[in-house]
Structure 1
């Protein structure tokens, strides 16, 4: 199963960092946050990634192209350029990096990756949020439900799309943007989708969180997987510092993998 990661937005609320690099490349504990996200999926055996780049995609390309070089010990023969990797380190991952355009919206980015994603169930998430959600249980929940898409519902304060759903079936009954009156569950990303969702994506201007998700709701094709554990997005410098502090303390809840 492929894991598709949104990684092309401008990240304007984190402009102190994103003026020079895309938000998924902003580091937590010396590693880009996208690396943390990918480690979470890899822990559950999902290692085939499609990164939907856009804004400053060259930083993402360079990171993965040079990953071995920056992670490993080596000896180089300066006379001929021959390199011997003395302590090669890498990840058992397959990573596809796509340039889906700097101004393309989230749904448009998905549509551009249609052929690579293929006709199979796939995971989808944002390149700026970490969680200790059990991906194995999430995928099982999705398969049991038989719907086109499942969204992970989380309970943070703040600025996210609100989900209302039935208690028994978990089917989402409505989806809208959050306002000051709201409490409860919100869209935390960590989706699981069927290829039928591509029918809802029109062009580069399509925003996945707007018309497509509303149409999923109207068709009764969106379920919510309620996650009561840790979840944190990195929208602002304060969010980044929160994650840095948690990581530095050595008890990051999202670190489900072993070193």
Structure 2
């Protein structure tokens, strides 16, 4: 069984995105060891400011030639701090960002086009997650008129990750280890009307619990995983 990161990078690679930076922290060496065992070349790169442990993997992911930088961004760093530290590896290019804890069949080509067309600093994929409970439909007298077992939520959208970012995003990242990207930085970007949403109504599934892990593994083993492109 391959880790979720491998599935996620394979999905991006199938759309032609083949350069990755992984912001590692807890058990970073476990991730490095995993890549060491894969079919490819793993080398250690020179240190950079705030980045004392950088490895680079060159090899195949889902039949695609990929380059993956494995960067130890520290045990205590929050999401905003980790992102700020890898700016020196990304430079001044538009880049994509994912948390690495969910899978989807979002069309990454259409996502990027939406981002380019809207000319904002940040685009997030808005999803309607699957409900954990059955949905009842009733009439005015409480007679059940419909029942849908664990449907896709019909309410508002949530952030599904799968961001597209302009380098301007780095201007909102203060040099603090406790900086959470989803709080002050995104709130400021929203306040300045520099964020847009790409709506995605098809498959999206996070992996927050063991139940989620089991569900995603069952999908993959069944040969019907929506994130696997033929």
Instruction: Give the TM-score range, shorter chain.
Output: 0.7 to 0.9
Partner of 1:63: 34
After TM superposition, the score normalised by the length of structure 2 is: 0.78
Corresponding residue number in structure 1 for 2:3: 32
The gaps in structure 2 that reach 5 residues or longer are: 41-58, 133-153
2:80 is aligned to 107
Q: Where do 4+ consecutive residues of structure 1 move more than 6 Å?
A: none
- Provide the aligned length of Structure 1 versus Structure 2: 187
Q: Are the counterparts in 1 of residues 78 and 177 from structure 2 also a CA contact under 8 Å? A: yes
- CA deviation map 1:213-249 (0-9, x unaligned): 1111100000000001100010000110111111122
Q: Deviations over 1:166-222 (max 9, x none)?
A: xxxxxxxxxxxxxxxx93100000000000011111122110111111111100000
Paired residue for 2:169? 197
Partner in structure 2 of residue 226 of structure 1: 199
Structure 1 position 90, deviation (Å): 3.1
Structure 1 counterpart of 2:216? 243
CA deviations on 1:94-117 (whole Å, 9 max, x unpaired) are: 000000011110000000101001
For 1:137-171, what per-residue CA distance to the aligned partner results, in whole angstroms no more than 9, with x for missing partners? Answer: 10111011100000000001579xxxxxxxxxxxx
Structure 1 position 50 matched with structure 2 position 21: yes
Q: Residues of 1 paired with 2:7 and 2:157: CA distance?
A: 24
Partners of 1:246 and 1:212 in 2: how far apart? 35
2:127 pairs with 1:154: yes
- Alignment equivalent of 1:216, drawn from 189, 203, 212: 189
User: Is residue 139 of structure 1 aligned with residue 112 of structure 2?
Assistant: yes
RMSD of aligned Cα (Å): 1.7
Q: 1:120 aligned to 2:120? A: no
